[in-house]
Amino acid sequence: MASRQCSKTGCTRSAAATLTYVYADSTVVVGQLSASAEPHSYDLCADHASRFTAPRGWDVVHIQQDYVDPGPSPDDLDALARAVREAGAPPRPAPAIPVAPPSSEPRRGHLRVVSSDI
């Protein structure tokens, strides 16, 4: 599992901070990277987080001054290790599908042919 990337278009660096708009207060809050991706927040790399400017008339609150890429978490490393183990494991045989023995009676289904002569 890869770490989250910067939300800025064209940036491929890892996210190091989370930006959130507080519309009621006309404030932009830039703080440490949130634990999970939020739908109304933006993840920024250290470079974009330190250089961010707010819209005219808005305040910017920087909660953390040193934005450092935290690197992969133990959960990310564990998921990667499991994926590598599964990829290297021998393929599992497909489960056997039971087959009914042939019957002497013709099978009657729920469909039938209806003539168009009414």
Task: Give the model confidence (pLDDT) of 17-50 as tens digits.
Answer: 899 998 888 999 988 888 888 888 999 988 898 8
In a domain, 49, yes or no: yes
Domain count, the chain: 1
- Whether the pLDDT of residue 87 is over 50: the answer is yes
Domain of 52, in residue numbers: 17-62
What would the mean pLDDT of 103-117 be, rounded to a whole number? 68
Domain assignment of residue 108, yes or no: no
Using DSSP's 3-state secondary structure scheme, residue 5 falls into strand
Nearest to residue 68, comparing CAs of 39, 37, 38, 44? 44
The whole-chain average pLDDT of the chain stands at 78
pLDDT greater than 60 at residue 74: yes
Q: Is the CB of residue 6 less than 8 Å from the CB of residue 45? A: yes
Instruction: Choose between 77 and 69: higher pLDDT.
Output: 77
Is 34 a domain residue?
A: yes
What are the residues whose beta carbons fall under 8 Å from the beta carbon of 86, sequence distance 6 or more?
Answer: none
Please tell me the distance from the alpha carbon of residue 65 to that of residue 80, in angstroms, as a whole number: 31
Pairing of strands 17-22, 27-32: antiparallel
